[in-house]
Amino acid sequence: MSVPPQVPPSPKRRRTWVVVAAVAAAVVVVAGATAAVTTGGRHTVSASVRHASPSGVASSASRPRYEITLPKALDGGRYTLARDDSSQLTKAVGTSGHTWRSGQYTAADGTVLQVTGAYGEVNTDPAHDRAQLLSGSANAPDTAVTVKPSDFTVAGAATTFTCQVVAFSKNGRRTAFPECAWADADTWGTVLETTPGSPAALPLRKMADLTAEIRDEVRVSS
């Protein structure tokens, strides 16, 4: 029996993932630089996404059912919004048919969450989308994926979370941090956690649970 040829993704779809991977890489750099802040290095989001080509990406024909927001606090108040990077990302990559949100949250113990999401285009292949979101980390400056991506399900969440561990090295300092991604019909998102001064990363099972909680709080009805 002959196998029908696979239809390659449309040029517009490929351009979408150029933008997504670039944004993911930028977030990794921001998170890593935050964890290594004692080195005195400087960083900007736009520097890592300058190569993105957002032009020509198709947008949704109708208003999305859900949006991504950045609440003042997350996870029962443990994390508070310290910096909103949304305008930097939007300026760097354009709207591309999407609305971008990215913010840095901090906890009293020094833990930092970088939460990034987008909405505005219908997603038809969530598994592929999650993989593409995480692929940006492998190409980010000064980073390496140390634990390969794994899929997790979380009770009560109607989506799958894909998580990996990324190591950021700069000026002789190394920080490992977990990163999880989700993609549903209306939204994309990634969550990274860093603990300054710690080379260890949160176990991926716990990170998936945390990401599910964060998703519930940042993803709201339009």
**DSSP for residue 124:** S
Per the CB < 8 A criterion, the answer to whether 162 and 94 are in contact is no
Per residue of the chain (222 residues), give pLDDT as tens. 443 333 344 445 555 555 655 666 666 666 655 554 433 333 333 333 332 322 233 344 566 789 999 999 999 999 999 999 888 878 777 666 788 899 999 999 888 899 998 888 767 788 888 988 888 777 777 888 899 999 999 999 989 999 999 888 877 877 788 999 999 888 989 998 987 666 566 789 999 999 999 999 999 998
Q: What is the pLDDT of residues 83-121, one digit of tens each?
A: 998 888 787 776 667 888 999 999 998 888 999 988 887
DSSP string, 21-87: HHHHHHHHHHHHHHHTGGG-----SGGGSTT---TT----SS--SEEE---SEETTTTEEEEEE-HH
**60-90 burial, b if ≥16 CB within 10 A, otherwise e?**
eeeebebbbebeeebeeeebebebebbebbb
Neighbours of 209 (CB within 10 A): 18
Q: Which of 19, 45, 49, 17 minimizes the C-alpha distance to 31?
A: 45
Q: Give the ranges where 108-203 is alpha helix by DSSP (H).
A: 126-138
Output the CA torsion 61→45→145→12 (10° steps): 30
Measured between alpha carbons, how far is 84 from 56 in angstroms, rounded to an integer?
27
